[in-house]
Amino acid sequence: MAVHPIDFRYGTHEMRAVWSEETRFSCIVAAEVALAKAEAAHGMIPAAAAAEIEKNAKNASLARSKEIEAEISHDMMAIVKAVSEVCGEPGRWIHYGATSNDILDTATGLQIGQALDLIDAKLRRLLGVLLQRSKETKTLVCVGRTHGQHGVPTTYGLRFAIWASELGRHIERLGQLRPRVVVGQMTGAVGTQAAMGSKGMEVQATMMQELGLVPVDVSNQVISRDRYAEYFMFLANVATTLDKIGIEIRSLQRTEIGEVEEAFGANQVGSSTMPHKRNPIKSEQVCGLARIIRSSVEPALQNNTLWDERDLTNSSCERVIFPEASILTDHCIQLMTTVLLGLVINRAAIRRNLAFLHGINMAESVMIELTKRGMSRQDAHERVRLASMQALAEGRPLADLLGMDNEVVRYCNKSDILKLLSPDTYIGTSVVQVERVIDKLSPLVRE
């Protein structure tokens, strides 16, 4: 019976598979095989034994290890016994010189690597969608808002480009953190490698090379959890960007704004009681799940503060937060990609909103031009501010009130003022900025 929503509602098949019991078991077995091969390569165990272990370890079963665990109450030793059983006499060398977390943390490194591969590919796909939408809308002028109020114009292309720029940095961060988090260890009971004598460092290096992992420089019984904390902070950072995009879409889909809308299926139902509703439920889902992903950061940080050479307080916590945060982040990336691909842009509503304040939101444009033509900047600000306040209070066009100020008209005639109040002429370098972002980030999509 499924209990957690990631079992039946959230998550992709491929990311759930990474954190499944079966994959965990196979990664642990792979680590044991790599250890045996490394020890054989350095003369610590017979080469024939390592070859038999490599040949037969794949026949070990998760079901059998669970049977053993029920008897001995130790999950790692249960797997060691299950693998040893299928390897015959050479099985006596399984786990030689290792402690549990040499294998468990190394298996985690393999799983993190797989998870990052999936996230990297999906971030690049989402980046491609954002860059395409940036290109399509680079000249689409719209209301810019600060503090929830209309400001000077911006463009939809610039909005999409800003989000794309964040995604580009996340892809860069992923590449930077990979060698710090996709790691493994073979350091023994408290990190001294005493059981392997003088060859411990060589065995660890060979084992990690076999697995495609970076070996730790030093550790105690467990890999230092600052590495894993960085992974969770990365997931939280990605989720927060997705949350940011989702909040903006939800805001812009408000009935009274109506500039964008999530795609809505022909048979889709928005409400069980209000038949007219078309709700931004996918963006809302992303925003809600981002809270759960971010909540993994605090326990991940606390997992680094273990007693002495180690305790077990991190273990139960990590069994929850690794699959949960990874699966939900992957889910949110894919869901937001779907939202942005299908996002409907209402150009009529955009133009309506641009005209909503009858030019008042263009006050800065007039102030700047008055200053260029000789008026004191501070005087220009005050005159335009007073006219704007009056226009807001009386619901009148700003152009009419500015045209009644003789000092303003002395520098800018009424025809000039009307041109200055046109939002399409006041988007600065936004188009060039968008094109620069597209040129810079497009190679990341193709990598």
- For residues 195 and 241, give the distance between their C-alpha atoms in angstroms, rounded to a whole number: 47
Alpha carbon distance 396, 104 (integer Å): 70
CA 122 to chain centroid, in Å, comes to 10
List, in sequence order, every residue forming a beta bridge with 183; answer none if it has no partner.
214
Distance CA 43, CA 195 (A): 14
Residue-level length of the chain? 447
- The neighbour count for residue 349, using CB atoms within 10 Å, is 17
Phi/psi at 222 (5° precision) = -130, 160
Catalytic site residues?
147, 271
Nearest to 199 by CA among 32, 38, 31: 38
Place of tokens 């990605």: 238
Alpha carbon 129 to its chain's center: 15
Distance (Å, rounded) from C-alpha 303 to C-alpha 224?
Answer: 9
Contact 18, 329 (CB under 8 A): no
